Structure 1
Amino acid sequence: MRMKHLFRKGADADASVLLLLHGTGGNEEDLLPLAEMVDPSASVLSVRGNVLENGMPRFFHRLSEGVFDEEDLVFRTWELKEFLEEAAQEYGFSPRRLIAVGYSNGANIAASLLLHYGKILQGAVLHHPMVPRRGIELPDLSGLPVFIGAGRNDPICVPAETEELEKLFQKAGAEVEVHWGSTGHQLTRSEIGVAAAWYKNTYQEPEGSL
């Protein structure tokens, strides 16, 4: 299942692979600076959504702002899963080394991947995600690390939405950390910095460790 993307091999062959998933209107170039801040040694697989909304790339259709086309979401989540399996073979990495880093619409499709397919990823950094689907059977996400960046004044992803998603992930067994900022829906440098610190603490050995 081909999707427009770019792949950059990291300095360490055993390093994680950051799966970059842009927000509405973005592309596969948008989050590259973020990847450098989170883990400059990691490989990067950055994907462009296959859906267009008024010319703006997205990962799935929506009926209106905040109202998802669930049928399309399910299909596009499967489409992305198939692409990741193909990309892993093409570029020679284990799919289990993938850590999603998504913003807004990209964070939503990453959350959908986890809720539909379980531990298909090694973890996720989700900036301003919404609950992708409700009323589905939750997978086993025991011990899976998930970071959620949220804004107290976010008009699109309101705090109640973040809290509901946090509880869903916790119910599935994931280890969730939520960072609350005072901003709206925008992705700030300070939020990225907190996410990078969480990532380092979660996935990288402290200096001097054996």
Structure 2
Amino acid sequence: MRMYAYDIYEPIGRKEGKIFPVIFALHGFGGDELDMAGRLELLMDRFVVVSMRGDVEYGPSFGFYHMVTEGDPNAHEVDYTSLRVAEFINNVCKKYDSIDAKQIFLAGFDQGAVLTTSIMHSYGGRYKAAAILSGRMPHYLSERPVNLMLKDKPIFIGHGLEDAVIQIAEADEIAKFFEKMGCKVEKHSYFIGHNINEAEEDDLYDWFESFLPNQPVKK
């Protein structure tokens, strides 16, 4: 399978042999690899960040799969893309000795959130946790068997209350989907549209940092 284009950000000044948890970031429709990297910048001294670029071209921008005018995206295309991303993650983790392959996180916005939901359902046992931002619930996933490997997996869900592109109700559906599998779901909503604001970034930073060792316990 063809590899995705990507940017990798490794902590500066890291000592030889030291490994770090890794976040694989997937952008939304009409974005590119710089979008999510900018959102995760403050974590780059403690995490390796791999920001991917979808390979479906829309003018100067990109998507991970073809858009549909309404309803679920094409299940076969999303399944195939999910497999490709999972294989990409495996390959990148083998390629860089700065990555702790036992601590792999996913973070996706819009199309990237749909893919993150799909990847976690199919391959989530391999990953530590996932952040799903402004995503849509692919309803065909609800008809598939429960993945027992997802029990106790942390899931962060963030969504804009005024999102006119993907309604906030989709976030509730995603939360129910993962709660049914026994995941530890943390749901956040913000007074924004189809985007990410500073408040959501702050919550996301806190959530990712909670996985690092020697973190103070929140009171």
Counterpart-to-counterpart distance in 1, 2:193 and 2:71: 15
Q: Do the aligned partners of residues 97 and 25 (structure 1) sit closer, same or farther apart at CA in structure 2, a change above 3 Å counting?
A: same
Relative to structure 1, is the Cα distance of residues 187 and 46 closer, same or farther in structure 2, using a 3 angstrom cutoff?
same
Task: Return the offset for 1:66.
Answer: 5.0
Residues 78-123 of structure 1 show CA distances to partners (whole Å, capped at 9, x for unaligned) of 1111111111111133443211122111121111110111223211
CA contact (8 A) 2:135 2:166 kept: yes
Tell me how large the CA RMSD over aligned residues is: 2.0
Match of 1:182 in 2: 191
1:5 is aligned to 2:10: no
Alpha-carbon displacement from aligned partner over 1:142-191 (angstroms, at most 9, x marks no partner): 11111111112212221221111101101111101000112211111111
Match of residue 155, structure 1, among 160, 164, 168: 164
1:137 corresponds, among 127, 130, 145, to 145
Pick aligned residue for 2:200 from 183, 188, 191: 191
Task: Output the amino acid matched with 2:207.
Answer: W
The code of the aligned residue for 1:91 comes to Y
User: 1:82 — aligned with what?
Assistant: 87
How far is the alpha carbon of 1:64 from its aligned partner?
A: 1.8
From 25, 34, 41, the equivalent of 1:29 is: 34
1:117 to 117, 123, 129: 123
Question: Cα distance 1:205–1:39, how it changes in 2: closer, same or farther (>3 A)?
Answer: farther
TM-score (ref. length: structure 2)? 0.86
5+ residue gaps in structure 2?
none
1:15-72 deviation digits (Å, cap 9, x = unpaired)? 2111111111211122222222345321111111122245531112232255311111
Tell me the residue number matched to 2:133. Answer: 127
Residue identity over aligned pairs, in percent, reads: 25
Paired residues of 1:28 and 1:47 also in contact (CA < 8 A): yes
Distance in 1 of aligned mates of 2:119 and 2:159? 19
Asked whether the equivalents of residues 21 and 102 of structure 1 are also in contact (C-alpha less than 8 Å), the reply is: yes
Once residues 43 and 53 of structure 1 are traced to their aligned partners in structure 2, the CA distance between those partners, rounded to angstroms, is 28
CA drift at 1:127:
1.3
Q: Give, in whole Å, the separation in 1 of the partners of 2:116 and 2:58.
A: 19
**Shift of residue 206 of structure 1?**
1.9
* Aligned-partner SS, 2:54: coil
- 1:74 maps to amino acid: D
Which residue in 2 is equivalent to 1:18? 23
Q: Say whether the 8 Å CA contact 2:72–2:139 is kept in structure 1.
A: no
| Contact in 1 for aligned 2:9/2:44 (Cα 8 Å) | no
Q: CA deviation at 1:136?
A: 1.5
Pick aligned residue for 2:113 from 107, 110, 113: 107
TM-score, normalised with respect to structure 1: 0.89
Mapped pair 1:71 → 2:80: no
Aligned residue for 1:68, secondary structure, equals: coil
AA at the equivalent of 1:143: D
Gaps of 5+ in 1: none
Report the number of matched residues: 208
- Asked whether the equivalents of residues 32 and 61 of structure 2 are also in contact (C-alpha less than 8 Å), the reply is no
For 1:61 and 1:84, the matched residues in 2 are separated by: 21
